[in-house]
Amino acid sequence: MTIRFLYGRRESLHGKSESYKKSVRDYLESIGFCQTTDSTIQGTFQDMVFVNPISDPGKKYLIETKAEDVTLYSKKLARELIHYFDLSQTSELHGMHFKLFAQGVIKPTLWESIFNENNNFVAVKEWCDWYNCKCIEENESPLDEEKIKQVFEFFSKSEVIVGTAIDLQHATLDLQSVSSLSLTKTASNLYNLVDRRKAPLPIQSRLVLNILPISTPQCYYSFEPTITNKQEIYDTLKSDIIPLSPFLLTRENRVLTFADPEEENPLYTIVNGKIQTLNTKVLQEKNPLLSTELVNVHLRRMFWNQGLYRDRKSNILYFPMKDKTKDKTEVIDQRGMNRWVVKKIVRTKDTKYYKIGEVNFYFHRGVEVHTPTYWGESFVELTPRRYYTLDGEKCVDGEIRGRIDRKFRNPNFDRSSARLGLMKFWRISYLKSQVLSKPKTGLESLALDLLLLKQ
């Protein structure tokens, strides 16, 4: 008989360690983890570092792997555990989570008494006393009472997973077939979703025009204000009795507005010098960007007066749900019928973290609005959007909305028939069916009276 060491005698241990690490990596990826660091490549103390962008974004998971049976009273392992504890106390890795993977453990009962949410403080203290006696090197400080308490808490939050490479491989295969967090399953689901969405519907449809010409007042007003800070102007002129007319403050510290800043207009109180009456057509032709901004502030005010909220980052306007006792909020549409604009979406089954019937999110009908100026004419671009919130009102981060949309979106939403109905809803209900007459005084702040769709 001949004995052979794969990779060579010394390298065989390294090869076994790397093989075990690969099994650990596959296992973690099957439940949604993504690797960011590997000691073999980066030369770091920790074997591997993972993150879980789906279930716990932002948190780092430090992984130690042992392709052998380990004991808690190994000086080498003990010093490694305390080093991981020290890392957890640093500002860079504060809040990290530690996982130890081992092929086997000696005295499992002792491991369970130390690495457990309800771990035994006496057992942890005995281990720390042994560490102070046997593992401390020269010029190192022993673990004091305060640190022992911190180590006790660190061990209670850490996790030890015991299993051979074969055990991990079997678990990986089982998890990949059932776990919705598996990277391979996530990739497969996304591919299938894209494949379904790109398939055309075999029905005749109509093209939907989402850019519409609008009429603006023939003149606008310009003056130098006594206050040159926009927020300070709002704070100074804010009133519950007389609403402030929409205005634009330019870089040259000039106020532009379509509302005549006469004596009854709050803007009149900050006029410094002469008020200029200027031709809107000239502005549209010579400075289309400034014309776009001026029209935009008035159009935003119009939607605000209709009760819509605005997400500044995405420039999406959406209906809020203020009455959380209702399942949906409805408005009257262009046909004179009730149309829902916000829906409360509840959870349909019990999970580890949620109960059936609890609010999952709120689905809002929204619209992205732009007011470009082309060829000396003003236009409004309306793009119906889906919008999601967690409380029915406050804006949420785009990444959160994206995750909700990918999971719950209805592919039929973007079809022509749906978009046509929504375009008519926004165009007729909110841009055309209002009383369109220029205000006699500057008191009215309704941009509705200043902008109308061309017939």
pLDDT of residue 449: 40
Q: CB of 359 within 8 A of CB of 430?
A: no
Per-residue pLDDT, 41:
81
Residue 347 φ/ψ region, left for φ over 0, alpha for ψ in the -120 to 50 degree band, beta for the rest:
beta
Strands (E), 140-263: 159-162, 211-215, 219-223, 248-249, 255-257
Residue 388: what are its φ and ψ, rounded to 5°? -130, 140
The residue ranges of the chain whose pLDDT is under 70 are 1-15, 178-185, 201, 205-208, 240-242, 263, 409-419, 428-455
Strand partners, 278: 220
User: From CA 342, how far away is CA 329, in angstroms rounded?
Assistant: 5
> Of 219, 248, 220, 251, which Cα lies nearest the Cα of 234?
248
Report CA torsion sign: 145, 147, 153, 159.
Answer: negative
What local confidence, expressed as pLDDT, does residue 312 receive? 86
Mean pLDDT of the chain: 81
Complete DSSP assignment for 352-414: SS--TTSEEEEEEEEEEEE--EETTEEEEEEEEEEEEESSSSS---HHHHHHHHHHH--GGGG
pLDDT score of 444 = 36
What are the tens digits of pLDDT across the range 401-443? 888 887 776 655 555 566 677 777 777 666 654 433 333 333 3
Pick from 369, 250, 241: nearest CA to 302: 369
For the chain, domains (ranges, CATH) are 9-186 (3.40.91), 211-216+281-453 (no CATH)
Residue 44 has what pLDDT? 83
Tokens 């609403």, residue located: 243
357-362, long-range: CB within 8 Å, 24+ apart, which pairs?
Answer: 359/390, 361/388, 361/389, 361/390, 361/404, 362/321, 362/388, 362/389, 362/390, 362/391, 362/392
- Determine how many CB atoms are found less than 10 A away from the CB of residue 201: 11
Position 10 scores a pLDDT of 47
In this prediction the pTM is 0.50
Please say whether the beta carbons of 265 and 447 come within 8 A.
Answer: no
Report the pLDDT value the prediction gives residue 436, as an integer from 0 to 100: 30
Q: What is the pLDDT of residue 443?
A: 32
Q: Running DSSP on this structure, what letter comes out for residue 266?
A: G
Q: Residues 65-84: pLDDT tens digits?
A: 998 999 999 999 999 999 99
Per-residue pLDDT, 29:
86
Sequence letter at residue 429: S
In 3-state terms the chain splits into helix, strand, coil percentages (rounded to 5) of 40, 25, 40
b (16+ CB within 10 A) / e for 116-143: eeebeeebbbebbeebeeebeeeeeeeb
